[in-house]
Structure 1
Amino acid sequence: MEIKRSSYINTIFPYFDTPVIKVLTGMRRVGKSTLILQLIRLLQDKGTDSDAILYINKELLEWDFITSYMELYKFVKGFFLDKHYAKRYVFIDEIQEISGWEKAIASLFSESFADITITGSNAHLLASDLATLLSGRYIEFKVYPLTFKEFCAFHQRSDNTVKEQFSLFLRYGGLPGIHAFELSDSAVFTYLHGIYSTIVLKDVIQRNDIKDPALLDHVIKYVFDNCGNITSVKRISDYLKAQKLTASVDKVLNYIHYLEKAFLVYETQRYDIKGLRFLELYSKYYAGDIGLRHGLLGYKDRDINGLLENIVYLELLQRGYSVHIGKFDTMEVDFIAEKQNEKHYFQVCYLLPNEEVINREFRPLERIQDSYPKYILSLDEFQAIERNGIKTINLIDFLLAV
């Protein structure tokens, strides 16, 4: 059964028949193609003739003949040549596979020829060329892996408790495709490792002409293995050199930048709350999907705190927040989440088993002297603490709250 990701559909669909290009970006296999098909069906349900819709999916061999912007432009114009519709709709999936695609899109848009929606698996999609040609005339929709709430909708098992569902989510992550399989290590991790290999090969190695894929593999493993830990590019470089690998700081920095462009990794900057400035030396990195991490490294219970941070980080991004990690003197605040006039502070931990841990988690938030909401998220089920305006919330309840 196909599940609609209503939050995306309800956000994107109102922009149809408006003078903006819809751009869906996100890692491969997060469900962009399915969203496109659901949007097309919604158009058809509202009376749009199927012949007024053109859908090009560059992941399918049947579209291999379109390789350049001129081939794209000519095909789109030819497709509608004898179809006299007042409204035409063009959808192009994985458009980065077409050389110079932005020239064709810019021309079609300038001619008001069709309502245009495109998807891409590279964060560089909206870099200089399109931004210059179409400044102010496109809107980006970032598509992420399933949230836990969406995961529960996809994996409807009446005999599973919410805790059991969360254990599966923690282990297998949020890529929609895993729900075509039995949720077991042998099935899911094999599938996820295949996706990981595809992303690394197509969106990182080939796209950036990387000559040392073995070194890239070590960089990815280090970053994945240290999700939620404060680190630096120099520290990664030093670690690799200790493994007898040639890894300059500049090369590691480039590799991480390529991983970010493929949405495989996210970097989160540190913000000095007291000094009101961003800090350049140290950051945290999070996996674009924790399931991909486990498909590469295996699942390890000892990593629970970093995994919970990773889940909350992606959840906050999905909710539209800009997210940074905070520093107050020598103490760390896991997340500062901001959106328009909103700001929230979060600490994330596995459990609050004793007074020492409680004090450790509360203390950084208590030092922040502003009135914005402050929360501690943990998997404690029956312990609700409120101290100096700071509240503890069960992490699963938080994930299911919207």
Structure 2
Amino acid sequence: MKQIKIALVIFLIILTQSVNASFKIESPAFPDLIHFRSADFGYIPYGKILSGKMIISNQTDPYGCFNSTNLAAKQQFLLVKYGNCSVIQKALAAQQSKVKMLIVMADHDSIDEVHMLNTVKSDKITIPVILFSKSIGDQIINEVKKQNGVLKGQCFFPRNIAKQGPVSIDYWFDPLDSNNYPFFYRFSSLHQDLGSDVKFRIHLALTFDQQESSQNYKTESCVSNGKYCANDPDGPGRLQGKDEVLIGLAMLCLQELDSSYKLTQTLFKFDFICLYQEKNRQLPLQCLTDVAKNNGYNITNFNEQCFAKHFKNSDLQGDNDLLEKEKILFQQETVQIWPELYVNQRAIRGDIQSLEEVESAICGGFQDPVPSACYDYFEYQDDSINPGYIILTILLSALVMFFILFGVFKLYYHKKFKEQIDGEVNNVIQKYLSFQDETDNS
């Protein structure tokens, strides 16, 4: 029965052509699927359905900031209010209470533009965290009270990644922020094994079109007279925002030369050698060149050639074709947070610095047959839900139910028919016996 309910939920999602993750509450008070937004951290079980009972956070801690108040929500869905502490703290508290999934109730109804952002502690979150609108949250609270706490829900996380080959992977990041580099550690070996089955591109999360800013800002933080800028990467240190723009440009030039796994290996080595070691951090351009050479790039006077090729003027103040392309893409993709991972033009939510998330997202984007590296190297399991399979299952179930009902009705009418025939035969026999008695008496 549980499997049939799940199949019906998915079938309903398919029929309504929902391309977003959807939540279904098993109550007449919620006839429609509920839209929610996933956090930009934590675990997102793409292609799966989670089921659980809705639990409201304890009245002494309605914001869910302390795990000791939510022990009753073990292996259930916990609903907490937004505010009073960070969403990360709420998620950690819920996780310590063994909650299956955390639902944060927003303080307003416009959730599409809300980002529950990645922070330093977010890599410790291993449960899904989602956001409901305030009106939905209030309705759930009222319904839980009406039903004495017995309200169940099912959450569907569609993979939502178009399958193609080769898979396109786009990664937006801050080139001088070491927190953006764990992705390269996770992806490098898989990139090497997948080879030409993936098309990988890095992109720069910069600030664009600051021509109206002060001259001091443009001098320290920008190139091309304020068109391409970055914030100061090290505060009182010697590096400036302009250095970050130039190091990013150099990485794009390396990508032009070779965008294979050699690039991802160079970048994660750059983080370890150039960003973690203070003496090298002060000269990131030279350090990047040295790392690239040691990693197989055949380059001479690399930075000078890169800048001369792409800047219109030699003083770094003219237009730059590579950075202009980055600006256009940045605006087209409406990148709002970074690091940001796109697989087949679809933004991936959750902890994209996690090995499991990276592997699941990338391998989930392949058309059949999925490359062997997804199975051999990471023991990948394609747990995505095939809508055709679900529809076929429902149709077969309906067909089986039809034959069962047909058999029951057939037995019923056969029994009724037999009883009717037996009754008529008995009547005939009784009439015959009565006639025989009358004949004998006469």
Note whether the superposition's TM-score is higher than 0.5: no
TM-score if structure 2 supplies the norm length?
Answer: 0.24
Higher strand share: 1
TM-score if structure 1 supplies the norm length?
Answer: 0.26
Q: Which one has the largest radius of gyration?
A: 2
